[in-house]
A and B are shown apart, each in its own frame.
Chain A
């Protein structure tokens, strides 16, 4: 049985080792996905907070191999936080939802649009990834469903994200409308959902949109299974394993995570939202 560490639920912490139901629904025989959660609360609402997300994921990914015998890592976020660092530290497949889904979208059409529940203030994440993955020419647009001021509602138990995930019609309608605008106005022939937190409603959205709609959570997970089944591991030329040992790296990152967690209680509040 091949163990796949799923870093994060794509939304709030679950407090268990059970991965999202969408993964359980389509996992292939011979694979054992398990959820592993970060120890550093973070929400990448700007560049410096993104570093926290990266650090958190790096610690979690190293821990997944070191303590949980993971055979592969799936970074369950379109932001792919920590992807390259983990690849330089590990010799198991490390797959990011963002990169895997962009590549899948690019194989199903000529031009894809990213439609995300997040507001335009999060654009820096998508812009950076598109440049990094050389997908700028294939991605015709990034469409933001919510407005910047909606982020402030995240502290509430019930907010636009929880409404979306529960299938609330107004949120779904907003997303479908944005998908259609991407098709009609931007020329997109394929849609990639811009957050794995949108996974619970991805099938409903896909049923209402005439072009392929890619769920980054399931696409990234299946790409991880594919890499593991073919023994595809990233290049050591591209991700050089230099400097220190895995133990040293883990210890350093773990200490950094602990220090960051202690020093920034506000981050906990944001991440808990």
Chain B
């Protein structure tokens, strides 16, 4: 019997076939609110969208939902609203990185404006000591360039090797300057460059999309799901309410220009 995993993420964040094990199928569930969590309120909107997507996945009969983002948006709420296994890329990858050595660093393409998100997750998952640093490849100066004709997005498209150099450089700094002995990527949108960066690094580099996904497969194969005592189930169907909220809020938010497209372009070269 094929186990069905809902890949919760932006359209275009499809799971590469080479990661999908025998006996599993994956279908991408697009999330309804096109916002990037540069601050906490946008993070809240993002979480609503991911919760809605997880609940839709349960209704559609999936065996597990994989929150395909290091931000793990809505993970705790989704776990309390569904009996289906819910796995987050961020949590899974931190656990994997922590087991590879004594200290790990998070290296993310996103600017320091997103640091709050990583810091909160590190605290939430209890990794304050093992996580020695969070490194941002681009600076906050790029925040204003997202919609510009000339942005780091277009620059990345024009100079892919420079982007790889920048990411690899931060990984090496994490080891040499921060004392990390492994690195995890801070965004699943970095998946396409995972192998290329690992080739440049003599230490483990944990690409978060595949790591979290394989953890989902592993837990499913073991017939494990999150604890109903840790995540108290509510005696009501939350799905219609979240669907309504996301449907109402979605059109009010400006579509984002996600730099993930640029990284995908690098991988395609």
Q: Do A and B bind each other?
A: yes
Which residues of the partner chain A approach B21 to less than 8 Å between Cβ atoms? 28-29, 229
Given contacts A212-B224, A232-B204, contact A238 B101 (CB under 8 A): yes
Q: Produce 1/0 per residue, A72-102, CB < 8 A to B.
A: 0000000000000000000000000001100
Which of the residues B101, B202, B221 comes within 8 Å of A28, measured between beta carbons? B221
Which residues of the partner chain A approach B229 to less than 8 Å between Cβ atoms? 109, 183, 188-190, 210-211
What's the interface size class on A, roughly? 35 or more
Residue contact B181 to A238, C-beta cutoff 8 Å: yes
User: Is B133 close to A, CB under 8 A?
Assistant: no
Q: Produce 1/0 per residue, A105-116, CB < 8 A to B.
A: 011111100000
User: Is A165 close to B, CB under 8 A?
Assistant: no
Residue contact B230 to A189, C-beta cutoff 8 Å: yes
- In chain B between 53 and 74, which residues have their CB closer than 8 angstroms to a CB of chain A? none
Given contacts A106-B95, A235-B203, A236-B202, contact A226 B218 (CB under 8 A): yes
Residue of A nearest to B194 (CB): A230
Residue of A nearest to B215 (CB): A226
Residue contact A108 to B175, C-beta cutoff 8 Å: no
Residue contact B100 to A218, C-beta cutoff 8 Å: no
Residue contact A222 to B218, C-beta cutoff 8 Å: yes
Residue contact A222 to B102, C-beta cutoff 8 Å: no
Nearest CB of chain B from residue A179's CB, rounded to whole Å: 12
A189 CA to B231 CA, complexed, in Å: 9
A26 CA to B220 CA, complexed, in Å: 11
User: Is A153 close to B, CB under 8 A?
Assistant: no
Residue contact B22 to A29, C-beta cutoff 8 Å: yes
Nearest CB of chain A from residue B13's CB, rounded to whole Å: 18
Which residues of the partner chain A approach B198 to less than 8 Å between Cβ atoms? 231
Residue contact A212 to B225, C-beta cutoff 8 Å: yes
Q: Produce 1/0 per residue, B132-149, CB < 8 A to A.
A: 000000000000000000
Which of the residues B103, B126, B211 comes within 8 Å of A230, measured between beta carbons? B211
Residue contact A211 to B181, C-beta cutoff 8 Å: no
Which of the residues B204, B215, B222 comes within 8 Å of A215, measured between beta carbons? B222
Residue of B nearest to A206 (CB): B223
Residue contact A230 to B214, C-beta cutoff 8 Å: yes
A215 CA to B222 CA, complexed, in Å: 9
User: Is B28 close to A, CB under 8 A?
Assistant: no
Nearest CB of chain B from residue A219's CB, rounded to whole Å: 6
A237 CA to B180 CA, complexed, in Å: 8
Given contacts A134-B129, A230-B211, contact A26 B227 (CB under 8 A): no
Residue from B203, B211, B218 whose CB has the most chain A CB atoms within 10 Å = B218
Which of the residues A29, A104, A183, A232 comes within 8 Å of B206, measured between beta carbons? A232
Nearest CB of chain A from residue B43's CB, rounded to whole Å: 21
Question: A107-B215, A210-B229 given. 17 additional CB < 8 A pairs?
Answer: A26-B222, A28-B22, A28-B221, A104-B95, A106-B126, A109-B227, A110-B230, A190-B230, A211-B230, A212-B226, A222-B221, A226-B217, A233-B100, A234-B99, A235-B102, A238-B102, A238-B181
Can you list the 9 inter-chain pairs with the closest CB atoms, starting with the nearest? A238-B101, A237-B181, A235-B101, A109-B227, A109-B230, A235-B181, A189-B229, A189-B230, A189-B227
B positions within 8 Å CB-CB of A: 21-23, 87, 91-92, 95-96, 98-103, 126, 129-130, 175, 180-182, 198, 202-204, 206, 210-211, 214-215, 217-219, 221-231
- Residue contacts A-B, CB under 8 angstroms, 17 given: A28-B21, A29-B21, A107-B95, A107-B219, A108-B226, A111-B230, A134-B126, A189-B227, A190-B227, A190-B230, A206-B223, A212-B224, A214-B222, A219-B224, A222-B222, A235-B102, A235-B203
